[in-house]
């Protein structure tokens, strides 16, 4: 359910694009992202950093698209977001005792620091590559193709990557020690 909540601005962007075009879709994405942040705050009384970063990027680049009537800015939005996430994951390798992926998942999964580091770096590479893939599709294919790819391609690739990481991570999960030996 959370993944649907996180991706609902993208879904609304897609629907608005199909009905009204890129500018209405961009405005819809901005409004939907503001609503997403507000609803999350009302429900949890806190903000999620990923939502705030996305809000800032869509407001800036989407706003530039609407103001300058040029879709090139909104086409850069996924790439900027992916590359900021890559920098965040990479920076977490050097700040604090745990990398970001371990901070996010360490409560649920027991494994070594080395595995967490590799997993974190895999996310860095994934985000960088996804940024380049978005740019390639955005500037080498028709706008409608990019919009379809933005919803189905980027989300699909993310889903496949997460599944693949789950499979790899399952090989390294350590069972927590039993507190009592059974006789």
Q: What is the chain's pLDDT, residue by residue, as a tens digit (183 residues)?
A: 666 678 889 999 999 999 999 999 999 999 999 999 999 999 999 999 889 999 999 999 999 999 999 999 999 999 999 999 999 999 999 998 899 988 988 888 888 888 899 999 999 999 999 999 999 999 999 999 999 999 999 999 999 999 998 888 888 776 666 655 554
- What is the per-residue DSSP string for 110-125? ---HHHHHHHHHHHHH
CA-based torsion, 83, 84, 88, 89: positive or negative: negative
In a domain, 89, yes or no: yes
Q: How many domains, the chain? A: 1
Q: 33 by DSSP, 3-state: which?
A: helix
In a domain, 180, yes or no: no
In a domain, 181, yes or no: no
In a domain, 44, yes or no: yes
| CA angle in degrees (0–180, nearest 5) for 48-88-124 | 120
CA 111 from chain centre, in angstroms, equals 24
In a domain, 34, yes or no: yes
In a domain, 111, yes or no: yes
* Structural domain boundaries, residue 56: 2-170
User: What is the dihedral angle through the alpha carbons of 99, 134, 5, 109, rounded to the nearest 10 degrees?
Assistant: -30
pLDDT confidence of residue 142: 98
Tokens matching residue 173 = 């999960």
In a domain, 126, yes or no: yes
Q: Measure the CA–CA gap between 123 and 77, rounded to whole angstroms.
A: 18
Give the count of alpha carbons within 13 A of 111, CB side only. Answer: 22
| CA angle in degrees (0–180, nearest 5) for 8-12-18 | 150
pLDDT confidence of residue 183: 47
In a domain, 99, yes or no: yes
Within 8 A by CB and 6+ apart from 113, the residues are 98, 102
Q: Measure the CA–CA gap between 136 and 8, rounded to whole angstroms.
A: 24
pLDDT confidence of residue 67: 98
């Amino acid at each position: 359910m959370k993944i649907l909540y996180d991706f609902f601005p993208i879904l609304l962007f897609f629907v608005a694009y199909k009905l009204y075009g890129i500018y209405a879709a961009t405005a819809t994405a901005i409004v939907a992202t503001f609503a997403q942040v507000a609803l999350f705050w009302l429900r949890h009384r806190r903000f999620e950093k990923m939502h705030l970063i996305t809000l800032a990027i869509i407001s800036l680049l989407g706003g530039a698209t609407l103001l300058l009537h040029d879709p090139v800015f909104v086409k850069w939005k996924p790439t900027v977001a992916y590359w900021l996430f890559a920098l965040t994951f990479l920076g977490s390798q050097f700040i604090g005792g745990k990398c970001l992926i371990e901070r996010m998942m360490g409560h649920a999964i027991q494994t070594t620091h080395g595995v967490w580091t590799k997993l974190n770096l895999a996310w860095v590479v994934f985000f960088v590559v996804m940024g380049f893939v978005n740019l390639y599709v955005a500037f080498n294919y028709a706008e409608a193709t990019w919009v379809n790819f933005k919803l189905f391609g980027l989300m699909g690739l993310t889903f496949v990557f997460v599944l693949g990481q789950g499979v790899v991570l399952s090989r390294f999960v350590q069972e927590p020690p039993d507190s009592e030996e059974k006789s």
